[in-house]
Amino acid sequence: MTYQHHLFICTNQKSEVGKDVAKAIKKELKKQDLKSLLLGGKKRKNRVQTVGCLDVCKHCKKGPGAALVVYPEGIWYGDVQPKDAADLVAQQLGNNQPVKRLQIEP
């Protein structure tokens, strides 16, 4: 299986917003029909994976949202909340365009 995008979402917050962000992104992937793609005759998936810490705590543990990184692009996002899921899925995963308002430098 080849991943089109692989998202790692920090879940190391007391508020558990990271888990909520992961759920919202998974829901949007299904809603926008981007969970699995057929590109060049090969099936490619967008994978959402939760992790314990991405070591960008000022944008995650100490902020109002979660931090996440999208590979293979290596684009980092901070202070992400569940309400941002639709923009992340449509722009980043659907059109390979970063969501500038959420983008951070690790």
pLDDT along the chain (106 residues), means of 10: 86 88 93 68 80 82 84 95 95 92 92
> Which pLDDT value is given to residue 37?
58
Which candidate, 2, 1, 4, places its Cα nearest to that of 95?
Answer: 4
Pure H helices in the chain: 17-31, 85-87, 95
> Which pLDDT value is given to residue 103?
95
- What strand order describes the sheet that includes 2-10? 36-39, 42-51, 2-10, 66-71, 75-80, 103-104
DSSP three-state, residue 60 = coil
> Which pLDDT value is given to residue 89?
93
> Which pLDDT value is given to residue 36?
64
Question: What's 74's DSSP letter?
Answer: T
- pTM reported for the whole predicted model: 0.87
Pick the CATH number of 3-102 from 3.40.30.10, 3.40.50.300, 3.50.50.60, 3.40.1160.10: 3.40.30.10
